[in-house]
Structure 1
Amino acid sequence: MTLFPLLADLSGRPVLVVGGGEVAVRKIEALLRAGARVRVHARALDPVLQGWLEQGRLTRLDGEFDPAWLDGVWLLVAATDDHAFNARLAEQAHARGLWANVVDDAQLSSVQIPAVVDRAPLQVAISSGGAAPMLARRIRERLEIELDHSLGDFATLFARHRDAIRKRFPALPQRRRWFDRVIDGPVSVLLRNGRHEDAERAFRDALESDRDDDNAGSVALVGAGDGDPGSLTLKALRVLNQADVLVCDPALPAAVIDMARRDATRLTAPQDREALVELLVRHAGNAMRVAYIKAGDAFRMAPDSALRAVLERRNVVCEVIAGVCDGPARAPGA
């Protein structure tokens, strides 16, 4: 089956869901989140749906199913366990030119409802065309791990300044280059750390700058925990996959270093503190995303806990990512 991917605006639009069980709950929850006006026909309602009905979040249609209920709705979702009834519903919807989704039956459906990773207003939809829904869900689980929740704030930032961006960079190639610089720059780091005002300021500075090379880099101070790659946090893995330069403590196990992006430049951290700071500042100043990784939870403990403040005084955007340790933070083998 060849599907054309699209995202539908159902805000304020009527949708008919037939079925009142657990599957219907999942579908209706997504529809309500999208702002749809949900009408439900079912012999019995799941307690969750009954609660939503009492709250006025949906409307119930009682009695025997009336095909006239399909008139004026935008979408039919058939979520009953009666295949023959679902087939009749789909046929009646198709005759009216309506989109119809029959749960777990791709052949009867004219529209599929995908697995979704929601970073509103950013959304990623995954569909197997009904062939392997569990595979689509597994991919969604992986993307949930990979895609930081701050991406929604990032997308909102772009949306809020959309007109100013188009006015500032009217030519598409110029606008693309600017987007690349901002996406790879420090704004995302600031958002990940909840520094929204600083992110807004950095975004505006990038928008107002006349330079094409004004994209400053950033430094992430990553705690590697007890040296087991499986103990790295999801945030640490994201940073290691994004780093252009990896600065490694000499005591760091090779297995942890191997978790980083393959084409990242790998450097051994100098033992001299001033030399280390200069190394980090130089690479960040060359628009690189730098990850300095050290065993334990070093960057939240003295003396390494002071490194973030030192870098920020040098105008380097910096974040600290905690290391997970069973006991007191220590280097492997210590």
Structure 2
Amino acid sequence: MPSSPLFPLFADLGGREVLVVGGGEVATRKIEALLHAGAQVQVYAQALNDALAQWLAEDRIDRLEGAFDPAWLDRVWLLVAATDDRAFNAELAREAGLRRLLVNVVDDAELSTFQIPAIVDRAPLLLAISSGGAAPMLARRLREQLETLLDHSLGEFAGLFARHRATIRARLPQLALRRRWFEQVMEGPVPTLLQSGQRQAAEQAFLAALESTGEVASAGSVLLVDAGDGDPSLVTLKALRALNRADLLVCDAQSQPAIVALARRDAARLPLPIDDASLLALLLEHAQSGQCVVCLKPGNTFQSAVGGNLAQRLSQQGIVCEVIPGVGV
């Protein structure tokens, strides 16, 4: 089993060769997913099941025959081993390692250098869930739960952003403004219209929002969030949304690491100033530059007069400020 957390990534396999070793039901599931991703799948197996034999007849896959030749690995991008022969799987993993080729050995995290996650498909939106090979059934159960929670219209919603990406970037070249516009669209009528099947109305509402990009506020904002005792299981939904809106996170990362980890990964981080005057100056500087600044403090500091006073002083400088209860009771 991997001794460190896996690095999540999404691979573009369109038109690229992938080798799958095995011809049974497990191999079939892996090959089906690879074909869906556009990969050119080559299969090496002593025998193919009915589904794979049909795909071979339809020229959807290619078959390699004869004795296994390690040189085959020189021309593929990924290797998937789906046999029940652990010694053979280990040899495949060794040969892949010599070539710095990523390999997935089904149900063997120790031999694998990448895992194939459980997928929630709302193309072009994809959600991947992995237990690092430790508990694949748990990952599948979570996928089942997410399938019921995530509306299928999310794919169409993501498609709208994809189709108009160039126009969006041209009209909103600044990342902070673009992010603010995205938030307005996501909280507007477009998702609801798509969920109800009103695709044309959703497209019109999206285009109307695109025409009104000039109305996006250029001023930044400050969100003052209490972190309680640092228990992430108590974080309120409003605080979680704030952490995910942050362009800049001002905090003492050492005192609330689990809550800080909930913030946007690409948000900049600055240490929390010791005195209130320095904190006010810091928040003003970055909010006035157009950033959404989230300030995180332990305990319930901002729920007291301290937070009210800081919010008032920011408001007097024309900065939108909100005090957010960070933890539920």
Q: TM-score range by the shorter chain?
A: 0.5 to 0.7
CA distance in 1, matches of 2:177, 2:213: 12
Helix, strand or coil: the match of 2:114?
A: coil
Structure 1 residue 193: Cα displacement:
2.0
CA distance in 1, matches of 2:125, 2:49: 31
Distance 1:68 1:39, change over 3 A: same
CA distance in 2, matches of 1:11, 1:192: 30
Matched, 1:44 2:47: yes
Report matched runs for 1:162-181 at 5 Å: 162-181=165-184
2:93 to 55, 68, 90: 90
Matched, 1:147 2:143: no
AA paired with 1:164? T
- The percent identity for this pair of structures is 66
Helix, strand or coil: the match of 2:119?
A: strand
CA distance in 1, matches of 2:213, 2:37: 40
Distance 1:211 1:14, change over 3 A: closer
Give the aligned partner of residue 54 of structure 1: 57
AA paired with 1:25? T
Runs of 4+ that moved beyond 6 A: none
Structure 2 contact 180–216 (Cα < 8 Å) conserved: no
Structure 1 residue 39: Cα displacement:
0.4
Matched, 1:15 2:11: no
CA distance in 2, matches of 1:38, 1:88: 21
CA distance in 2, matches of 1:181, 1:193: 19
CA distance in 2, matches of 1:210, 1:158: 14
Helix, strand or coil: the match of 2:75?
A: coil
Give the aligned partner of residue 111 of structure 1: 114
Distance 1:213 1:94, change over 3 A: closer
Give the aligned partner of residue 212 of structure 2: 209
Structure 1 residue 191: Cα displacement:
1.2
CA distance in 2, matches of 1:98, 1:54: 29
Give the aligned partner of residue 198 of structure 2: 195
User: Which shifted more, 198-207 or 60-69?
Assistant: 60-69
Structure 2 stretches lacking a partner, 5+ long: 218-236, 238-329
Distance 1:189 1:68, change over 3 A: same
TM-score with structure 1 length normalisation? 0.62
Cα-to-partner distance string for 1:128-159 (whole Å, 9 max, x where unaligned): 11011111111111111111111111011001
Helix, strand or coil: the match of 1:71?
A: helix
2:129 to 122, 126, 129: 126
CA distance in 2, matches of 1:74, 1:169: 37
Give the aligned partner of residue 80 of structure 1: 83
Structure 1 residue 205: Cα displacement:
0.5
Report matched runs for 1:244-323 at 5 Å: none
CA distance in 2, matches of 1:43, 1:89: 16
Cα-to-partner distance string for 1:94-148 (whole Å, 9 max, x where unaligned): 1011110000001101111111111011000111110111111111111111111
Distance 1:9 1:211, change over 3 A: closer
Structure 2 contact 42–62 (Cα < 8 Å) conserved: yes
Cα-to-partner distance string for 1:182-207 (whole Å, 9 max, x where unaligned): 11111111111222111111001111
Structure 1 residue 163: Cα displacement:
1.1
CA distance in 2, matches of 1:210, 1:79: 51
CA distance in 1, matches of 2:215, 2:135: 45
TM-score with structure 2 length normalisation? 0.63
AA paired with 2:27? A
Structure 1 stretches lacking a partner, 5+ long: 215-241, 243-334
AA paired with 2:33? A
AA paired with 1:104? D
What count of residue pairs does the alignment treat as equivalent? 215
